[in-house]
Chain A
Amino acid sequence: MVTKVFSPSKITFWFIISSILISGFLFYSSATIAETINIYSHRQPFLINPFVKAFEKETGIKANIIYSTKGLAQRMLAEGKRSPADVVLTVDISRLNVYVDKQLLLPISSEKLFKNIPAHLRGPKNDWFGFSKRARILAINTKRVGVDKIKKIEDLARPIWRGRICTRPGSHVYNRALLASIIAHNGAPVAEKWAQGLVYNLAQRPQGNDRSQIKAIFQGVCDIAIINSYYFGKLRNSKIAEQREWTKDVRIVFTNQGGRGNHINISGGGVAKYSKNKKLAIKFLEFLSEDKAQRLFTKINFEFPANPSIPYSKELLSWGAFSEDKLPINKIAELAPMAQRIIDRVGW
């Protein structure tokens, strides 16, 4: 009896090969257009897309994006010299620092960038540039907390606020950076005591994001919340009426005015070390530092422009002027692991 039996290994082999080829063809055909740059972004598409569109319109260069909150540095490490990335975009100085640590960014020289971005918002080797700033501020319930009752970030640890403060978990980058700034100014022991005091004062277990902290104030769960400035702007200008309602009785407080100033963090980016399109990549960064893009930062996401010559949007102006902490931003990244240890110890 002669029956033809396909060997399973052969079938599997061809099956896998053809699936990979077909899918590769399906998904990967767009990456060969002439003038393109490839962006690895830790920032969400709905924030980045308007910038990319404006850039494409202005220059005719097509931008491809991969967005992921985590792991892009590991991906670039694994890709090594073969990496297709030209530009890396991220928020938070510690994340930028990961790229610096692993030497994934290329020091660049650009007159435009040097002119537009102040020195304290650039990497020491000009391997990264900050494009926007956000302040970590307090949101307070105007009905339950008197004006001027709270002025410094250190005040959050005072016993009078027992059971009245809301925050997201301490291990989130924003809180970790805040604590790192307190370590930088007051030393680790004082910072740990502060964090401990803050944890005693929490109204509920740290949870949710900054948006839900404002919601918690609206719900009467707490009176004070630690938030990033742009969340306040986003909620006040939300499409959803309910969300605008949350901010009704909320006032924001820039901390440590008259002292060191309010802690800030940045969003930024750099050119990938193994970029095959360095010129275009630099062009994209330059674009981000200039008038049009800088205004978009203030308009779309209510962030403060890094370029000092750009005027604030109406919403930002309505918050009033404030002085920002001039601590070299690199210091934050340096102290972040120590901050995380404190956060682990106090259980924030």
Chain B
Amino acid sequence: MLVGNNTFWHAKRSFYGYFNGWSITTLAVALVFVGPFVALFVVATGDTEGIWSHLMQTVAPRYALNTLILMFGVGILSLTFGISTGWIIARFDFWFSKILEWGLLLPCTVPAYIIAYTYTDFLEYAGPVQGVLRDIFGWTSARDYWFPEIRSMGGAILVMSSVLYPYIYLLARTAFRQTSRSYLEIAKIRKPSSAILIDLSLARPAIIAGLALVLMEVLSDFGTVEFFAVETLTLGIFNIWLGMNNIAAAAQIAGIAFIFILSLLMIERGARKRQRFYDNTKKNVSVRLQVASTGRSVLYIVICVLPIILGFIIPVSILLNFIFRGLSTSNSEILITAAFNSVTLSFIVSLIVICLATIMVVTTTYKKQPFLLWLSTISSLGYAFPGAILAIGVVTFAGGVDGIIEKIYVYFSVAANNGFLIGGAGLLILACVVRFQAVGYGAIVAGVSRLSPNMFAASALLGYSFSRTVFKLSPPLLSRSMLAGGILVFVDAMKELPMTLLLRPFNYETLATFVYQLAKDELLEESALAAIIIIFVGLGPIIILNKYQRK
């Protein structure tokens, strides 16, 4: 045995070892994130008053089936939108492709509940579409003709896909761009048509990460399904909680949905366990854009414009129309405060999420501790809980922690406190971080999964510590993913509603809560200005994101 070899193993052990700041931070953070879930599971152990037999005989099968149909429908449609556009943008150069490239991201600034409200306004009987049709065909009442009902399963699939596909588009596009040219060249030599298969299988982790976000969002959505009266599990959760006054059973259903998402992810992860592709080649060999012919260009434009029209242009035009007709409330004092609150909250949340997600992903990827990996994966699934239910978990968890802190205070006979966590904005920030961790985590996992472990190994061999390696290598290698994740979190937090409603401090209004209090009463017109601000505040970061991704 060579002595040098021993030193290497020693270095390797300390590099990848267990007890170090990285693992401990990850463990601590993951435990805090899991706290609200545990609190929910505790809530779920309450008395359900034999409600399950009633549920199984009546609504539960319908709720479950509807949820599956909705997830399947939105999954397929957003994959179609996201992958097709992502691939076209990543591979071809055609007219307007530079504009479409960022245009395709715009719909993610539109909250799902707002698009639901605007589409209803647009497509219902009194709306412009049916009005024009009636004028043309001389119909006089709803009984004279058939028109597809927007408040339906199909409508929900359409509107949700229109605003959720950008997750898949963004992550898939980034992955396609990073596909090494050498792979595609080999594919072209062997069989030209197989190039896209190579692209797809290399981008699979990214696509799955995007899809997972979409599906979690669908599962946890309340605003849209309530407005469209699509009876999903989440709607059921609220009926059981508020209607039957049974939070235990409601928490149980939320828990089952959570476990369902978790197992889907595990199955997928298992399926690609043996397929890992690293980009081992040097930089600057990324695929060169192909210039599209005129006919092709038109086709590509149509494919790329469609989702933008559906997810952005239609809802924004409707909102702008309300504003120009003077129907919107424009109490500037409230709006400015609300906008300020929204932006600061979203900014703080996105910073925290990205820092923590990066630490967790890097640690679990390179330290290879199965327990930590599991824990941080689970801790990044807060997105799968309906916001209001997660808020219950967060507030219950915080109440427990505050109770313990108080006991400690009393023990040391310090004056009683009013609770640290509940009441201030800290709790709201914690809740948002737990919920949007999924978005940041997903983005960074997608980035890290393409990095070759050789880089870290090389750094270890050179005698650098793990911390130094991370600080040296992360900025050049992960900055894109971090920025992408951070901006997605920011935009998502701008739209966040149910948790803010419940956990906010006194007199605290965000743009989303302002929109909600009016839109809830179907006074969409009056909330239009605030809704537009939510969307436009998201635009800036989205454009930055796009610019930076291209460099």
| Residues in chain A within 8 A of chain B (CB atoms) | 3, 5, 7-13, 15-16, 19-20, 22-24, 26-28, 30-31, 38, 44-46, 64-72, 74-75, 77-80, 82-84, 94-95, 97-98, 101, 169, 171, 173, 176, 204-209, 211-212, 215, 218-221, 239-240, 242, 336-337, 340-341, 343-345, 347
The answer to whether residues A27 and B424 also contact, given A12-B359, A45-B517 and a CB cut-off of 8 A, is: yes
Residue on B nearest A28 in the bound complex, by CB: B424
Minimum CB–CB distance from A54 to chain B (whole Å) comes to 17
Query: Is B280 positioned at the interface, with any CB of A under 8 Å from its CB?
Result: no
Query: Is B413 positioned at the interface, with any CB of A under 8 Å from its CB?
Result: no
Say yes or no: A78 contacts B422, CB within 8 Å: yes
Say yes or no: A5 contacts B468, CB within 8 Å: yes
Q: Which of B424, B502, B521 contacts A44 (CB 8 A)?
A: B521
Interface residues in B, total, Cβ within 8 A = 85
**10 residue pairs, one from A and one from B, having the closest CB atoms:** A78-B399, A64-B506, A220-B141, A207-B229, A219-B125, A9-B25, A82-B419, A9-B21, A27-B425, A340-B243
The answer to whether residues A71 and B391 also contact, given A19-B348, A79-B422, A101-B245 and a CB cut-off of 8 A, is: yes
Residue on A nearest B54 in the bound complex, by CB: A341
The answer to whether residues A46 and B517 also contact, given A15-B355, A84-B423 and a CB cut-off of 8 A, is: yes
Minimum CB–CB distance from A21 to chain B (whole Å) comes to 9
Say yes or no: A65 contacts B506, CB within 8 Å: yes
Q: How far is the CA of A186 from the CA of B403 in the complex (A)?
A: 47
Residue on A nearest B406 in the bound complex, by CB: A82
Q: How far is the CA of A205 from the CA of B229 in the complex (A)?
A: 8
Minimum CB–CB distance from B114 to chain A (whole Å) comes to 16
- B residues 316-355 near A (Cβ < 8 Å) are 327, 341, 344-345, 348, 351-352, 355
Subset of 10 A-B contacts with CB under 8 Å: A20-B429, A27-B424, A31-B505, A70-B238, A77-B396, A78-B399, A79-B423, A83-B422, A207-B227, A219-B142
Minimum CB–CB distance from B547 to chain A (whole Å) comes to 26
Q: B105-130 CB contact bits vs A (8 Å, 1 = yes)?
A: 00000000000000000001110000
Q: How far is the CA of A116 from the CA of B344 in the complex (A)?
A: 45
Say yes or no: A212 contacts B348, CB within 8 Å: no
For A70, what are the chain B residues with a Cβ–Cβ distance below 8 Å? 238, 241-242, 388, 498, 501-502
Minimum CB–CB distance from B404 to chain A (whole Å) comes to 12
The answer to whether residues A212 and B467 also contact, given A20-B429, A27-B424, A242-B126 and a CB cut-off of 8 A, is: no
Minimum CB–CB distance from A276 to chain B (whole Å) comes to 9
Say yes or no: A169 contacts B229, CB within 8 Å: yes
Say yes or no: B506 contacts A24, CB within 8 Å: no
Query: Is B507 positioned at the interface, with any CB of A under 8 Å from its CB?
Result: yes
Say yes or no: A71 contacts B392, CB within 8 Å: yes
Q: How far is the CA of A221 from the CA of B126 in the complex (A)?
A: 11
Minimum CB–CB distance from A284 to chain B (whole Å) comes to 15
Query: Is B411 positioned at the interface, with any CB of A under 8 Å from its CB?
Result: no
For B58, what are the chain A residues with a Cβ–Cβ distance below 8 Å? 341, 344-345
Minimum CB–CB distance from A87 to chain B (whole Å) comes to 12
Say yes or no: B426 contacts A23, CB within 8 Å: yes
For B241, what are the chain A residues with a Cβ–Cβ distance below 8 Å? 70
Say yes or no: A211 contacts B521, CB within 8 Å: yes
For B450, what are the chain A residues with a Cβ–Cβ distance below 8 Å? none
Q: Which of B244, B344, B406, B502 contacts A68 (CB 8 A)?
A: B502
Minimum CB–CB distance from A280 to chain B (whole Å) comes to 15
For A347, what are the chain B residues with a Cβ–Cβ distance below 8 Å? 62
Q: Which of A221, A337, A345 contacts B142 (CB 8 A)?
A: A221
The answer to whether residues A28 and B396 also contact, given A19-B352, A219-B142 and a CB cut-off of 8 A, is: no
The answer to whether residues A27 and B422 also contact, given A336-B243, A336-B245 and a CB cut-off of 8 A, is: no
Q: B396-416 CB contact bits vs A (8 Å, 1 = yes)?
A: 101110110010000000000
Q: Which of A7, A69, A206, A242 has the most CB of B within 10 A?
A: A69
Q: How far is the CA of A337 from the CA of B403 in the complex (A)?
A: 32
Query: Is B83 positioned at the interface, with any CB of A under 8 Å from its CB?
Result: no
Query: Is B418 positioned at the interface, with any CB of A under 8 Å from its CB?
Result: yes
Q: Which of A20, A26, A38, A74 contacts B506 (CB 8 A)?
A: A38
Residue on B nearest A17 in the bound complex, by CB: B426
Say yes or no: B518 contacts A82, CB within 8 Å: no
Given A46-B517, A66-B508, A94-B245, 19 extra CB contacts under 8 A: A5-B467, A19-B429, A23-B425, A23-B429, A24-B425, A46-B518, A66-B506, A67-B501, A70-B241, A78-B396, A79-B395, A79-B399, A79-B402, A84-B418, A205-B149, A205-B151, A219-B125, A221-B142, A240-B525
Q: Which of A7, A79, A242, A347 has the most CB of B within 10 A?
A: A79
Say yes or no: B247 contacts A8, CB within 8 Å: no
